[in-house]
Amino acid sequence: MRDVYRAHVTEIANLLRHGFSFESAGRAHRFIGYASAFELQDALHETFRRAFEPAARLAFDGIRPYAPYLRTIARNVVLRTFRAGREMFPIADDQGAPGDDAVVLADTQPSAEHDTMRKQMEGIVRAFLDGLAAADRELLMLRFVEGISQRDVADRLGLGRQQVRGREAKLRQALIDHLREHDAGTTLGATWIAAPLATLIAEALR
Amino acid sequence: MSFGRRGRIERALTGRADARDVGKLIADLRDDPRMRAEYDRGALAMRTLERAAVAEVEIDLIERWLEADGTLDGAPEVAAPTRWLWIGVAALAAGAAVLALRPPTPVGEPNDGLQPRGMHGHPQAGWLGVSVLCDGGHGSHALDESSTCPIDASIGFAIRIDARHHGGEHFVLFGVDEHGELQYYLPTPDASAPTLVDRDRWIPLGRAVRLSVNHTPGRVRVFAGLLAHPPTLDALEQAAATLARDRGDDENPWIERLGPGHRLVADCAFGRCLGAELEFRVDAATPVEPPI
């Protein structure tokens, strides 16, 4: 199951991050995705927890594509989240036909709100990167710009994988420290990121 | 924000969180909007650093979460016992005792000396471990059914809660001797029981009980629980009276043996509470060595 999780988690995470469109009662709606990392993780965890339940595993025949099945579960997890307050979205059966995800249309473009948050954070991260030593910047470039795995970065730099992992953890910690220093002089961090989920849900009538 | 909470956030965002961190982190994030905001902001920084919609550390954290709740197998096992860990002095009015704690054996392992009676095969077997340490002034040892502690010694306690437990947090610990007498450990008429939130590590309870004060030689059954509500002394006394009549041939956990109507275990259905028990024997006083 761990391999299944690793194989599909990025796709489902992107779905929950960027949102999806769906139809209900003949109307088109759009969930624009979770801005809150914790809410996204909560939904992502719940998706895989449900998918890996014994009953769900038995219900899946192993022949039909698994990814659409997971997307349907993820969609239902999202809709259940705010269904309690808004009895307006019908929920498909998790055990229903896998692959029947015609109403789930993943959007690949981030919303305007997400884009704004991202740009604000980019400035902070850019300043952090500018202050790093060349060796640290190289490691991060290899890892996150070129998208190379820790193992391959280790080979390229002549380091052990644990060394790369350790250096990366230290750099992440340094970024957290930099972020805290930045936020110490502003209330920004505690305000816009804590926007309630309700404000992140948008609907567009077709 | 407390140092512990900040530390858990940092470990999660730097990819150093393990399954032990997850339960507490998730509970904190659900309950504390300020902590959630800080966590969310840090996660956004990691996403920006990685130029990814969702950061690798988030993916790793959810994997740890799925391990912690038992969805994924292969959660990192707790280190097997390799040595005794001395933990210092715990004091009570009666005196002080130096306690030695045995590191935990893997969760749920059969025949574990700390495995409470009635939990073998139970889905929450091993989720609550209790260890009673006997200190007679010449070293300490963990007590089990086959061991004894002299009446002139002191006992101390340690407990361990599995990270998969997300239910009741109110701790209770008491004993019932073979005469049916209740032995208050926590809470007592003078001390309230702690709320325990740490997971997957042995937690020494800052108490030592000198056996000569209230105990008598003979068998003592020790009951530990994590309950949905703070235990009251009245409910504790009723529970002890019920358990004193229990002949011990029922293989269910003591929380279930009390039954759903008992005040001490109110709202404990659906695995919300945990129970553990063990027993040991109090011996007569240690013979005094004749002077050489």
For B260-275, the pLDDT digits (tens) are 778 898 888 777 888 8
Q: What is the DSSP letter of B195?
A: B
Q: Domain segments of chain B: what residues?
A: 3-68, 85-283
Please give the pLDDT value at position B121: 53
Mean pLDDT of chain B: 75
Mutate to test the interface with B, among A4, A41, A146 (most CBs of B within 10 A): A41
Q: Which residues of A touch B75 (CB under 8 A)?
A: none
Is A183 at the interface with chain B, CB within 8 A? yes
Q: What is the DSSP letter of B273?
A: S
Mean pLDDT of chain A: 73
Is A55 at the interface with chain B, CB within 8 A? no
Please give the pLDDT value at position B251: 67
Please give the pLDDT value at position B58: 93
Does the CA dihedral B139-B196-B33-A40 come out positive or negative? positive
Q: Is the pLDDT of residue A55 over 50?
A: yes
How near does any CA of chain B get to the CA of A160, in Å? 17
- Strand, coil or helix: what is A170? helix
pTM value is 0.50
Q: Are B221 and B176 in contact (CB under 8 A)?
A: yes
Q: Are B101 and B131 in contact (CB under 8 A)?
A: yes
CB < 8 Å from B in window 152-171 of A: 165, 168-170
**How many CB atoms are closer than 10 A to CB B79?**
10
Q: List, for residues B70-122, the tens digit of each pLDDT value.
A: 888 754 433 322 222 223 223 322 332 223 333 333 333 333 334 444 445 55
Q: Do B58 and A168 touch (CB under 8 A)?
A: no
Mean pLDDT of B148-175: 87
Q: List, for residues A125-162, the tens digit of each pLDDT value.
A: 999 999 999 999 999 989 988 888 888 898 888 888 88
Q: Which residues of A touch B62 (CB under 8 A)?
A: 9, 41, 44-45, 48
Alpha-carbon dihedral angle through residues B200, B202, B206, B209, given to the nearest 10 degrees? 130
Nearest to A176 among B13, B40, B54 (CB): B13
Mutate to test the interface with A, among B6, B21, B31, B49 (most CBs of A within 10 A): B49
CB < 8 Å from A in window 33-92 of B: 33-34, 36-54, 57-59, 61-63, 65-66, 69, 71-74
* Per-residue tokens: A36: 């809150």
- In angstroms, how far is the first alpha carbon of chain A from the final one? 39
Per cent of chain B over pLDDT 90 is 13
- Strand, coil or helix: what is B59? helix
Nearest CA in chain A to B25: A38
ipTM above 0.90, yes or no: no
- Strand, coil or helix: what is A193? helix
- ∠B228-B32-A79 over CA atoms, to 5°? 85
Distance (Å, rounded) from C-alpha A25 to C-alpha A88?
9
CB < 8 Å from B in window 125-144 of A: 125, 128, 140, 143-144
A-B contacts at Cβ under 8 angstroms: 121
